[in-house]
Amino acid sequence: MSGDGWQQTGEQFLQAVFYGVSFLADVLRLIKELRCAKCVISSRDLLFSVLAFPVSTFVSISFWILYTYNRELVYPRSLDGVIPSWLNHTMHTAVLPLAFLEILATPHRYPAKKKGLFLLGCASFLYVSWVLWIYFVTGEWVYPLFASFSPAGLGAFFVISLIIVVCFYNFGEFLNRMIW
C-alpha cells in the first residue's frame, strides 16, 4: 500500500470509529440502556471533540488549499486513475460539512481544556510517528509535499500544523458552546 493509501485508511478509520460510536450511543438510548449509553456518549464526545472535529476540519481545509495551490503536492494526477473522484471528495470534502452538521445536530461535552489539548497532542504525536514510520518502511511520503522539506522544515511544518489543529479544537469547542 502506498503512503497515501495508509493515510487515507487512517482517516477513514477515524471517521468510521466516531460514527460507529455515535450510532451505538443512539441505539443504547433507544433501548433504555442508560448506564451503558452514558459511557458510550462520553466516548463519542471525547472522540468528536479531540479528534473528529479538529482533524476533519484540518484535513479538509489544508488539503483543498494545497490542492488549489499545486495538486501534485498532496494528490498527484497519477492517483486519478486509482482513486475515483467521489472517493477523494468523501475523504477530503464531505468530512468538513459532516463535522459541522454534527455540531449543529448533537451537543458534545468537551473535556477539561488541559485534558483535551493533551489528548490532541498525543494523537498528533502518534500521527507524526505514523507518517515517519510509513516513510521509513516504504521510502514514500504520505504526501509528496513532505519530500520538499528539510528535516527542520518538516518539523516546523508539523509544529505549525499542530498549532492550527489546536485552533480548530478551540473553534469546535466555541461553536459547541455557542450553539448548545
Q: Which of 106, 98, 123 is nearest to 44 (CA)?
A: 106
pLDDT of residue 8 exceeding 70, the answer is no
Q: Write down the residue that cell numbers 471528495 correspond to.
A: 89
- Residue ranges of domains in the chain: 9-179
Handedness of CA 92, 97, 102, 108 (dihedral sign): positive
Least confident of 36-45, 53-62, 121-130, 157-166: 36-45
Percentage of the chain with pLDDT > 90?
64
Q: Are the CB atoms for 21 and 44 separated by under 8 Å?
A: yes
Q: What is the DSSP letter of 2?
A: -
C-alpha cell at 117: 489539548
Q: What is the mean predicted confidence (pLDDT) over 77-81?
A: 90
pLDDT at res. 172: 97
Residue 104 banded pLDDT, cuts 50, 70, 90: very high
pLDDT tens string 29-38 = 777 777 778 8
Distance CA 180, CA 70 (A): 39
